[in-house]
Amino acid sequence: MINRILRILLITLTFSGIAYGQYSEKELQQLIQEGNTEKLVRANSELLLNGMFRQAATIAENLVSTSPENANFQYRLGYAYLYYHPDINSPIDPLTKACANVTQKYDASSSKEQQAPIDAVYYLGKAHHRLGNIKKAVDHYQKFLELAGKKNILSSYAELGLIQCEVAEELMNNPSDDKLSNIGDSINTSGPEYAPIVSLDGTSLFFTSRRLWKDEENEGMIDPATNNYLEDIFVSFQDENGKWKSPEILDFCKPNQNEATVSVSIDERKVYVYNDESGNGDIYYSQYNNGTFNAIQPIDKEAVNTKNWEPHLYVTPDGSEVYFVSDRPGGFGGRDIYVMKKTGNDSWSEPQNLGPEINTPYDEDAPFVSIDNESLYFASNGSKSMGGFDIFCAKRNEEGNWGTPANMGYPINSPADDAFYTTTTDGFKGYITSFRAGGKGDLDIYEIQHFPPRNSNTAILKGQIFVVNDQPLPEDIAITVACTNCDKNSSITVFPRIRDGVYFTKLEKCKEYELTYTYNNGKTTFHTAKLATNCIPEYEEIYKPVYLRLDDMKIIPYYQLKIETIDIASNASVGTVTVQILDEDGSVLEDLQTDESGMYTSKILQSRDEGGNANLKFKITKDGYLSKTIDLSFELTDESILNAQLLMEKASVGEDLGQILKLDPIYFDLNSSFIRKDAKEKLQKIIDAMNNNPNMVIECGSHTDCRESYEYNEWLSDRRAKRTVNYISKRISNPGRISGKGYGETQLVNDCGCEGDVVSDCSEAEHQLNRRTEFRIIKN
């Protein structure tokens, strides 16, 4: 699909004047077995001219096997591999052999031709170019220009290739911080996967694939040009761990027809499809209705489809603009991007070419606009590309027009074809199609992680409607989001996804909004809500879930308790933690474990009535951390998401338990070993910690200030340690876990020493700091 027009153009250069032809597989094998060299060369030329690269390669492989030294046959094989073979390296060897014997007087029609045309030098340069062998590509482009001169039509492509090689070298020497990875075997196969469209929250991925269906209904439906199955549209959803599930084919796909993804509406209720039944290629769509995607039909915007080629269309998330691609007359060359703007409820402006700032004398394709309507992404194979199609981004200027596009750089782009970029609302993840070294085979889908994320200073509403008892969501539900303090009236009506009730829309910063939920095609309102965006210039996503009871179409509280375990020192999430949730009377409500990111969502409160508080206890346990019980109270309002952040402290051997619990030391009066009243509250926290951690062993280390003799202070500190141990041991399980030791005045916490003739000038408050007991962890 990518670059097909260019491919056919280049084929005609060498093999012009030869009739079209193609063969069934049976006819092809019979021809190879029975045909002489003349017939095989003739058939190979016909197939190359008709774009039947795989069949042409099959014949060329046979010719090469019988005469490997023949540069003409090697050229034909390398040429077919360049535009068909799923291994990007495949053309190098045959084209290298072909270039060892080239001629200006190449005769494509003669079976006796032993030499290759000088065009082989260009194609070898192209093969090295897309592999990233930039120096070799430049050498061959330059050599081709020296041999061919300006009159050869390929010369302009060689000159473009040299310009693109400069771009590639610059970008590859200065890579971005973005991370690119093959999406993997759950999506990609050894065949082609392309045209990915990711949902705005990154949980679904629509794409085109040429693969055997699970029920094998399309078995035998093979494209003879590539030996692949026909195009079909699939969708994959992420599981709870963020992994892509096995893809599912969309309802409207037919085994004997090509259907390729173009774009998907943000509510996933309309899929735009490329269909070539007309011969030129037009935009169709399928509407989700009554639980299924209906059969595709031509798009209802008459100005889009013409007798020319329209391979792509994208409707902006707010529905105000339609971008599409066409090679219709009047453009700037090749395929151009056009826009139509909404002028009324069902009326649109005439198509407008985006102009020379976006469109070039070459091809532009696959437009995509970010949810904030400020970034236009598209593919172009012009002079600012690294080679083939690259992805570019243009920003909207103050006049509302698109500014100068910038190449998105390496490693997002490569010297081969890269296209079909889409991204999530936060601009952190993006997805592209690429044919590059290291892939699974042919075109693959890749995931990009942007550093930093591309969307900033953007506010997004992510709403969600949960239906009580998991009943199906009615398809006629809509939400009108109206700004109540914007400069001009601003409202948009959006529809939730049927599969999970999620909906999205962009919001303005520092504004207030009212949400109106309706059904019965907008005639009946069943709920309203308010929200406000912050005024900070950074990405903001407001999550607004509601719970719908279908019996009376009423929004009810349906509380979800989102638990998060946090390391109090680092403020980072703690991994898997064992949590026991207790009611305020001590009865166990739920035993659970948080996930690897320290998160868990509990539904224990989902049936509680609105109003009042829910008082819960959380008993948390994890090796290396202090086990404890945390009391939290939750106000049961109309907000269904309740957040429980559980702070955890590491408890390492040698540390002071009091410091971990953020307690001041236990202090004593001068010359006294009695437990003071103010110490008992702190000791209770030590006692609670030891009872919650039944394997913990503690040493009570008691100290004095410097006054009195060494001997007296050792005796006094030992009494303080024993009194502390006695107080705690009566109140904990397995009292043998606590011991005491007196250190006298040997471990002062300040410079209040007064040994020998030294007279301390410390205040009584400073001396008090030394009269203490600490709680060192011996074992945990």
pLDDT tens digits for range 181-221: 999 999 999 999 999 999 999 999 999 999 999 999 999 89
Nearest Cα to Cα of residue 427 among 473, 382, 460: 460
Per the DSSP assignment, residues forming a β-bridge with 641 are 560
Q: Does domain 657-779 have CATH number 3.90.1010.10?
A: no
Q: How confident is the model at residue 376 (pLDDT cuts 50, 70, 90)?
A: very high
Most confident of 339-348, 632-641, 668-677: 668-677
DSSP assignment, residue 603? -
Q: How confident is the model at residue 21 (pLDDT cuts 50, 70, 90)?
A: low
pLDDT at 642 over 60: yes
Least-confidence region, from 92-106, 126-140, 236-250, 270-284 = 270-284
In this structure, is the dihedral angle defined by the CA atoms of residues 287, 293, 298 and 299, taken in order, positive or negative? positive
The amino acid sitting at 556 is I
End-to-end alpha-carbon separation of the chain, Å? 64
User: What is the CB neighbour count within 10 angstroms for residue 603?
Assistant: 11
* Cβ pair 501, 509 in contact under 8 A: no
Q: What is the pLDDT of residue 644?
A: 95
Nearest Cα to Cα of residue 233 among 198, 262, 203, 207: 207
* Assigned CATH for 179-449: 2.115.10.20
pLDDT at 724 over 80: yes
113-146 pLDDT, tens digit each: 999 999 999 999 999 999 999 999 999 999 999 9
Q: What is the pLDDT of residue 20?
A: 46
Average pLDDT over residues 565-571: 91
Decide: residue 16, CB within 10 A, 0-12 exposed, 13-18 middle, 19+ buried: exposed
Q: How confident is the model at residue 584 (pLDDT cuts 50, 70, 90)?
A: confident
Q: d(Cα 421, Cα 183) in Å, to the nearest integer?
A: 14
Q: What is the pLDDT of residue 24?
A: 84
pLDDT at 393 over 50: yes
- The owner of tokens 């993840």 is 429
Which two three-digit tokens encode residue 537?
Answer: 């210039």
Give me the architecture of the 459-556 domain, per CATH: Sandwich (2.60)
Which two three-digit tokens encode residue 93?
Answer: 């060897």
Q: What fold, for 560-648?
A: Immunoglobulin-like (2.60.40)
CA 367, distance to chain mean position in Å, is: 19
Nearest Cα to Cα of residue 364 among 410, 327, 415, 406: 327
Q: What is the pLDDT of residue 607?
A: 74
Q: d(Cα 10, Cα 699) in Å, to the nearest integer?
A: 84
Average pLDDT over residues 698-720: 94
Give the percent of the chain with pLDDT over 90. Answer: 79
Q: Count of H helices and E strands in the chain?
A: 13, 44
pLDDT at 42 over 80: yes
Average pLDDT over residues 758-768: 91
Which two three-digit tokens encode residue 450?
Answer: 């942007």
Nearest Cα to Cα of residue 180 among 413, 447, 415: 447
Judge whether 459-556 and 560-648 match in fold. Answer: yes
Q: What is the pLDDT of residue 301?
A: 82
The amino acid sitting at 429 is K
Q: Tell how strand 490-494 and strand 282-289 pair up.
A: unpaired
Q: What average pLDDT does the structure give for the chain?
A: 92
pLDDT at 302 over 90: no
Decide: residue 372, CB within 10 A, 0-12 exposed, 13-18 middle, 19+ buried: buried
pLDDT at 768 over 90: yes
* Assigned CATH for 4-173: 1.25.40.10
* Cβ pair 740, 719 in contact under 8 A: no
Average pLDDT over residues 738-746: 95
pLDDT at 243 over 60: yes
Q: d(Cα 507, Cα 481) in Å, to the nearest integer?
A: 9
Q: Write out the H or E segment, with its range, that includes residue 55.
A: helix 53-66
CA 173, distance to chain mean position in Å, is: 26
Q: How confident is the model at residue 698 (pLDDT cuts 50, 70, 90)?
A: very high
Q: How confident is the model at residue 731 (pLDDT cuts 50, 70, 90)?
A: very high
Q: How confident is the model at residue 5 (pLDDT cuts 50, 70, 90)?
A: very low
Q: d(Cα 463, Cα 528) in Å, to the nearest integer?
A: 13
pLDDT at 56 over 50: yes
- The owner of tokens 């056009």 is 338
* Cβ pair 348, 335 in contact under 8 A: no
Higher pLDDT, 247 or 15: 247
* Cβ pair 109, 45 in contact under 8 A: yes
Nearest Cα to Cα of residue 692 among 726, 731, 643, 718: 731
Q: What is the pLDDT of residue 250?
A: 95
Q: What is the pLDDT of residue 278?
A: 66
Q: Name 623's Cβ contacts closer than 8 Å, sequence gap at least 6.
A: none
Q: How confident is the model at residue 251 (pLDDT cuts 50, 70, 90)?
A: very high
Peptide bond into 356 cis (omega under 30): no
Average pLDDT over residues 705-709: 91
Which two three-digit tokens encode residue 350?
Answer: 């005439």
Q: d(Cα 205, Cα 216) in Å, to the nearest integer?
A: 22
Decide: residue 681, CB within 10 A, 0-12 exposed, 13-18 middle, 19+ buried: exposed
The CA angle 57-63-64, to the nearest 5 degrees, is 85
Q: What is the pLDDT of residue 606?
A: 82
- The owner of tokens 């009091």 is 658
Q: What ranges do the domains of the chain cover?
A: 4-173, 179-449, 459-556, 560-648, 657-779
* Cβ pair 677, 596 in contact under 8 A: no
pTM of this structure: 0.78
